Amino acid sequence: MEVRMALFRRKRGEDPADEDRDASTPAPQGVGPWDESDAPHRDDLLDCGALRIPVLDAATLQFTVDRTRDLVLGAVYILGDSALQLQVFAAPKSRGIWADVRADMISSIASQGGSSREGHGDYGTEIRAQMPIEGHRSINPVRYVGIDGSRWLLRATLTGKAAVDDDASRALLHLVLDDTVVVRGNAAFPPRDILPLSIPKAGPVKEERPALELPKRGPEISEVR
């Protein structure tokens, strides 16, 4: 069983630096996602184990947890009408895996009765999918973005407005990914295995139904080898 847990949200105005950040501005050179080995020193990121992630002004941060395996699967930002889930997976030293994973995901989406197409965004080739909602005749738009790193693949899954609106997608991706650091570590994981996260001790944690649902089922990387 997967549950999502709300951590906290920063109130607008608590960090003056947030007021100066314009998400519509093109990303300059030297922004993330970073590998731990070349990331600039930051004291203001949340330590989530395999990821260090920013706290966003006016956004709620939640965590997707698999209770049956006692595993934190992803970090979820809820901002307005959009949601972004971050997950990080193991990859081999020799090459990136997003191209292969993307092809497998497209096949998996089709097998679930959905449709998809590839598009190009600021972080490379992405998948723009229409996923059927179980028990309903409606569909759920989902956008998948993958970034290959040093022995890791970072995947961002966008739902809500950011799944269909390029400007909303671009803004949310830059707000999160430009400051995200992947901490791969030296532990051995098979390629495509999810790297476990941890919930940071930054405040009281309570179970909460998110304002914007992520797809309950989707083409998980471990399922589409």
Give 82-107 pLDDT, tens digit per residue.
Answer: 999 999 999 999 999 999 999 999 99
**Highest-scoring range by mean pLDDT, 22-26, 29-33, 157-161:** 157-161
Structural domain boundaries in the chain: 32-209
Q: What is the pLDDT of residue 138?
A: 85
Sheet containing 181-182: which strands, arranged edge to edge?
34-35, 181-182, 51-53, 46-47
Give 152-203 pLDDT, tens digit per residue.
Answer: 999 999 999 999 999 999 999 999 999 999 999 999 999 999 999 999 985 4
Q: What percentage of the chain has pLDDT greater than the value 90?
A: 66
Q: What is the pLDDT of residue 15?
A: 44
**Domain 32-209 top-level CATH class:** alpha beta
At residue 16 the predicted structure's pLDDT band, cuts being 50, 70 and 90, is very low
